[in-house]
Structure 1
């Protein structure tokens, strides 16, 4: 059976609340979907997500990933703005330091053998993807790997014209804090629009 799962960085409790509030502020009355919540769809930065075979063990794989590299107690990422991503996505864009590139490489190394490649959506319209995103999608079934990796917190999705309007007017209605802190790795079940719908395994970045 195919399972749609992901690995992500979770923000600190304070910044989880900040992200939930930011979605509300940016979305105005339009209600970006799905709603973020500290107790439901968690704000997160996806490292990788996709369809997996039953051979994957979230607890084992997350432990292997974390043990394969030296991680600090916290990862602090600078925000680079609220951006629109085709089609209809509203992202809080974040910087991509070398550590995140290395973390994704470690995740891909551990998880790639368990990918259910037969479940990749080959009918997906990738005409608005960049060349790097198309290459990433073809190789891993996920748009953002390698040179295409674009760390972000998804603030939600809306009709394209609404999403464009919200992103364009966001600077007039809200201010975005300059730095966001992440202190946990998680394996999660993907929900609506790839949301962090259910936490399967969680661990501190540096348990020691």
Structure 2
């Protein structure tokens, strides 16, 4: 057996030894999975989960980012996973807040990504309020992948962030399954104070897509199209 094969075997054994421990529960299993996944080549999405970093969360199901939008029916803030990638899409930017026990909160101008009553929601808050308990997440590695992670609700264990291929939030029982719809990658927008950039991040805040047209340009194009059709 090769040297790498020996390492992989030992990592798997360590993972299952950790996972078999009752005391510690999900945190032990998370550590075990991370041990195995760390041996797989690829960009670890955890490297961007540092306090003060502004990131984007990319759904592996839709291939787009989680963003905040306004519901056309209720006029309330909701989220979907059809946002753009890069600095031009601020409604798809999330500030990372880390807790002492290794959990996370993600908010956009104090509008928190959360799971409440079994549904994926946005909970508005403010700088003077305590972070909503429904918005606390445990991050888990996808076993065998170094590029994807799960976000499990701490308030509702066994419930995960998830979106379908159209970018719509998953509902129960889908939200309680760990599959591709609940797998995510991360994209850095800006680093937090005192956070050292990753070595291979040569460009930060460089959009992966062209900037959307301005309202004036879009209105002008629409007007020109109408004139052409009229002729």
Q: TM > 0.5 between the two? A: no
TM-score (norm 1): 0.25
Larger radius of gyration: 2
Higher relative contact order (CA 8 A, sep 6+): 1
- If each structure's helix is expressed as a fraction of its own residues, which one has the higher value? 1
